Amino acid sequence: MVVLPLLGQLADEYGRKLLLLITISTSMFPFAVLAYNQSRDAVYVYYVLRTISFILSQGSIFCIAVAYAADIIKEENRAAAFSWITGFFSASHVIGNLLARFLPEKYIFVVSIALLIFGSVYMYFFLAETVEPVEKRERDSTFLTNIINFTRKRYESMRYAAVLVFRSPTLKVISLVSFFYELGMSGISSVLLYYLKAVFGFNKNQYSEILSVVGVGAIFSQILVLPLLNPFVGEGVILCLALLASIAYGLLYGLAWASWVPYMSAAFGAIYILVKPATYAVISKGSSSVNQVCKTSSLT
């Protein structure tokens, strides 16, 4: 959580493209270890590198991508744009589940690395920078002075992000909503697969089916439904409906009385997935271009 506002400020100072390249590139190394060797020692190395990768990239990639979109898209079109971004994100999950199910195990990590490299190379050559990096003015300073100045600037940037949130009634409310939503959904996601296996004896194929149901529904709702509804009802109404769907999602899983109920509950995933694009649209409307990453990362 501390890293996100820090990376957000760095994105404003050094550019969105550079930070996207750095955060995405860190995701390659853990999978490269498993692609090379799948021994027990390699698995431990994977978890260490994966932890470091998550610290740098988990959440920050999406925040910077949303800020990049806000730089080039008009305010009235941002909700639809954010929905398309999350829709393609869901599409990648569906394709990833299908690949994991049908690809031989020895090729899964190799394909993952190839896709990560392709994404980084594509961004390097075709992604245009939208923020002019800040010029360095402390080249003649000592190493210790640079460390002190860097620490001071990072503290000020994080303090600035916190002040922006707490001074805005809208952002204070949306921060509480985001906190409790992520708290509940992360709890469900952490135990769901174990729960389904223990109670109904689900196997990996049934897990893949449920995840695919959620993913396909999420693609449809984010790419088609939200852009069509938003001009008429606004992102606030969509956010409320999505939160209600998340409550139904959790209740049906918790009260499931037959093996078909989890599939019905998964259908609500097509609606609750709209929480994030609607939240990003609310935040973006109350933010200037400079503060896009700062505010989004503070609430993520």
Closest CA to 61 of 293, 238, 299: 293
- C-alpha 82/C-alpha 73 separation (Å) is 10
What would the pLDDT profile of 81-102 be if each residue is shown by its tens digit?
777 887 887 788 778 777 777 7
The separation between CA 74 and the C-alpha centre of its own chain, rounded to angstroms, equals 22
One-character DSSP codes across 184-251: HHHHHHHHHHHHHHHHH---HHHHHHHHHHHHHHHHHIIIIIHHHHHHHHHHHHHHHHHHHHHHHHHH
Which domains, and CATH codes, for the chain?
A: 3-131+140-299 (1.20.1250.20)
The answer, as to whether pTM is greater than 0.75, is: no
How many other CB atoms are there within 10 angstroms of residue 140's CB atom? 6
Using an 8 Å Cβ cutoff, are 128 and 16 in contact?
A: no
What would the pLDDT profile of 169-208 be if each residue is shown by its tens digit?
777 788 888 888 888 888 887 788 788 888 888 876 777 7
pLDDT digit string (tens) for the chain, length 300 residues: 445 555 555 556 666 777 788 888 888 888 888 888 878 888 888 888 888 887 777 667 777 777 777 777 777 777 777 778 878 877 887 787 777 777 777 777 788 888 888 888 888 888 877 766 655 554 455 656 767 776 776 667 667 667 776 777 777 788 888 888 888 888 887 788 788 888 888 876 777 777 777 778 888 888 888 888 888 888 888 889 999 988 888 888 888 888 888 888 888 888 888 888 888 777 777 655 444 444 455 445
- The pLDDT value recorded for residue 157 is 66
- C-alpha 35/C-alpha 114 separation (Å) is 11
% the chain with pLDDT above 70: 79
b vs e for 258-267, b when ≥16 Cβ sit within 10 Å of the residue's Cβ?
eeeebeebbe
